[in-house]
Structure 1
Amino acid sequence: MSQKKDTNTEHIILKAAKRVFQNKGMDGARMQEIADEAKINKAMLHYYYRSKQLLFEAVFRNAFALLA
């Protein structure tokens, strides 16, 4: 059950981050804004992704995987 919840939370974070990055770009996006979009607190966002750069890379990898 915990693994499924973790995967679901990560998916929600990635979807929220994708929306924020598309609207604001890497430089304009803020971790707090992504957390708000995902409806989680910033501490949980940092638990899954330690930095904005790592989150951006995860979103990019996810998008690239869809194309490949």
Structure 2
Amino acid sequence: MSLPALPTLDRTLARCPKCAGEAVWIVGTPLRSLRAQQLSLRCERCLLTEPLGYTTPHSRYLFPWVMRRWGVSP
């Protein structure tokens, strides 16, 4: 069973809402029983992590308010 790939997002304007750090990464946590991944944004500087959404083999759902807050765009 293969998990979906992490989505490609534009992180050129991404900043952490807590410390304004620019080292922002997308982290995927596999949910094997659902054949999905929970996506999170993580700041490398202050280690703040916030859920970004979910991705499955056929679709993805990203929380728009989190994308706006962190400055990430699809």
TM-score range, shorter chain: under 0.3
- What TM-score comes out, normalization by structure 2 length? 0.25
Greater strand proportion:
2
The structure whose Rg is larger is 2
- What TM-score comes out, normalization by structure 1 length? 0.27
